[in-house]
Amino acid sequence: MCEACPIIDWANELPTVRSFIARRVDSVMTENIVWFDRYDRDLHKPYVGGKNASLGEMMMAELPVPPGFAVTINAYEQLWENKSLVDDINELLRSIDHDDYAKNRAISAEIRQLIEAVPVSDQVAADIAEAYASLCRHCESDDIPVAVRSSATAEDLPDASFAGQQDTYLWIQTPESVVDHVRQCWSSIFTDRAIAYRHSMGYMHQSIAMSVGVQKMVDPIASGVAFTLNPTNGDRSQIAVDASWGLGEAVVSGEVTPDNFLIDKVLREVVKREISDKHVEYRLTDRGIVEKVPIEDERRNQSSVTDEDLIEIALLARKAEKHYGCPQDVEWAIDRHLPTGANVVMLQSRPETVWSQKATKSVSKGGGDQMSSIVSTLLSPMHTKKTN
pLDDT of 341 = 82
Give tens-digit pLDDT for 116-168: 999 999 999 999 999 999 999 888 889 999 999 999 886 544 444 444 557 78
User: Could you give the count of Cα atoms lying within 13 Å of 359 in the half-sphere of its Cβ?
Assistant: 20
Residue 154 lies in a domain: yes
**Final residue of a structural domain among 181, 216, 251:** 216
Do 140 and 245 have their domain in common? no
Do 278 and 174 have their domain in common? no
Range in 21-35, 47-61, 70-84, 111-125 with the lowest mean pLDDT: 21-35
Q: Residue 30 class from Cβ within 10 Å (0-12 exposed, 13-18 middle, 19+ buried)?
A: buried
Residue 383 lies in a domain: no
Do 172 and 250 have their domain in common? no
CA of 251: how far to CAs of 103, 194, 218, 364, in Å?
34, 26, 18, 9
Do 23 and 132 have their domain in common? yes
Would the pLDDT of 319 be above 60? yes
Would the pLDDT of 54 be above 60? yes
- As for how many domains the chain has, the answer is 2
Q: What is the CATH number of the domain that holds 126?
A: 3.30.1490.20
**Final residue of a structural domain among 198, 216, 234:** 216
**Final residue of a structural domain among 216, 247, 276:** 216
pLDDT of 246 = 93
Do 363 and 254 have their domain in common? yes
Give tens-digit pLDDT for 373-384: 555 555 544 455
User: Could you give the count of Cα atoms lying within 13 Å of 55 in the half-sphere of its Cβ?
Assistant: 27
pLDDT of 198 = 78
Residue 270: strand pairing partners: 263
Distance CA 70, CA 232 (A): 37
What pTM does this model have?
0.79
**Between 28 and 76, where is the model more confident?**
76
Do 206 and 232 have their domain in common? no
Helix (H) or strand (E) holding 78: none
Q: 100 is in which domain, residue-wise? A: 10-216
User: Could you give the count of Cα atoms lying within 13 Å of 20 in the half-sphere of its Cβ?
Assistant: 25
Do 204 and 276 have their domain in common? no
Q: What is the CATH number of the domain that holds 333?
A: 3.30.470.20
Residue 388 lies in a domain: no
Residue 4 lies in a domain: no
Give tens-digit pLDDT for 216-246: 988 899 999 999 999 888 899 999 999 999 9
Do 246 and 128 have their domain in common? no
Do 204 and 232 have their domain in common? no
Residue 386 lies in a domain: no
